[in-house]
Amino acid sequence: MTTKTPRAYWKPLAIGAPEPYRELPVRLERMIHFVPPHIEKVRAKLPELARKVDIVLGNLEDAIPADQKEAARRGFIEMAKADLGTAALWTRINCLNSPWILDDIGEIVGEVGDRLDVIMLPKVEGPWDIHYMDQLLAQLEARHGLKKPILIHAILETAEGVKNVEAIATSSPRMHGMSLGPADLAASRGMKTTRVGGGHPDYGVLPDAAGDAPRTLVQQDLWHYTVAKMVDACLAAGIRPFYGPFGDFSDAAACEAQFRNAFLMGCVGAWSLHPSQIDIAKKVFSPEPEEVKFALRILEAMPDGSGAVMIEGKMQDDATWKQAKVIVDLARQVAA
């Protein structure tokens, strides 16, 4: 369980609104699986799909055509009534300056707010966007007598958002976490790529020249800086960081590599936009058995978490004990 700390400037607005900073359960969130809710065939398969994923998200924003926005919203309300087992239910609503946002929030919270765990808010630029959502949700929760607060997950996908990432992370006790949105972020930054996440063959460094030997560019991770910045902002605020989408469904190996970089850097999950990415996320965001075994040896070698010991020639101390605990705690959660 985590405890959300109330921030000085955050005040519940409405009498009767639930307290967003009460204790909330921590659950596995290895993949946020996106579905288009306006497609009936997709909705019909939801109970089966929900058994395979940690989170089902009904997408109302980009990739849903403008003339289907209403149908997607109504479809999401239908979808919220389905049996989703233990999977959490999220929606990605349209952005704050779009014509659909008020109806997205009003209708969804009004009709199925008690089923909804998290609202993903796209194109968040600063804490003011979260404050607006925060108050709106407090009003609606009070009006509809909801017992559980609806949390907010921000997509980090504009240059301004990245500049303000720390203030966004601490903007409200309602903040659940944050995802990197590499496609919109690339556009906002003027990056010269049309890819959705992943690397680029031209972004790299050449090894030093060694005589006339041919040199090959060593590709670098385009997203390293932003993921690192986002992870620090999130962990310092006690919220959860996620890698976002990987658009090339034909390249499972590259998707796995991108997810793994994010996992090693501290992210807890990623988006799955295609069913084939569910198992990739499940594999990557659960610790490797060998890694768990070694971490357990560290914990066993230092039962009170202090001192220094050598295991297979590697020095272990209070800090590596804490590193090991991160891995073992996650393994226990996966096994539970």
Chain contacts with ligand GLV (rule: CB under 6 A): 62, 155, 157, 181-184, 196, 244-245
Contacted entry of ligand GLV, Mg ion, none for residue 269, CB cut-off 5 to 8 Å set by kind: none
Q: What is the smallest separation between the CB atom of 34 and ligand GLV, expressed in angstroms? A: 10
- For Mg ion, which is the closer residue by CB, 188 or 286? 188
The 137-176 site mask, x for binding Mg ion (CB under 5 A), equals: --------------------x-------------------
Contacted entry of ligand GLV, Mg ion, none for residue 327, CB cut-off 5 to 8 Å set by kind: none
- For ligand GLV, which is the closer residue by CB, 46 or 57? 57
- Is 202 known as a binding-site position? no
The 84-123 site mask, x for binding Mg ion (CB under 5 A), equals: ----------------------------------------
**Binding-site member from 120, 184, 258, 263 for Mg ion (CB under 5 A):** 184
Q: Name the residue among 228, 288, 280 with its Cα closest to residue 259.
A: 280
CA distance 293 to 153: 33
- For Mg ion, which is the closer residue by CB, 129 or 157? 157
Contacted entry of Mg ion, ligand GLV, none for residue 117, CB cut-off 5 to 8 Å set by kind: none
The residue count for binding Mg ion (CB under 5 A) is 3
Q: What is the smallest separation between the CB atom of 183 and ligand GLV, expressed in angstroms? A: 3
- Is 184 known as a binding-site position? yes
- For ligand GLV, which is the closer residue by CB, 54 or 61? 61
Point out the annotated binding site: 92, 157, 184
Interface positions with Mg ion (CB under 5 A): 157, 181, 184
Binding residues for Mg(2+): 157, 184
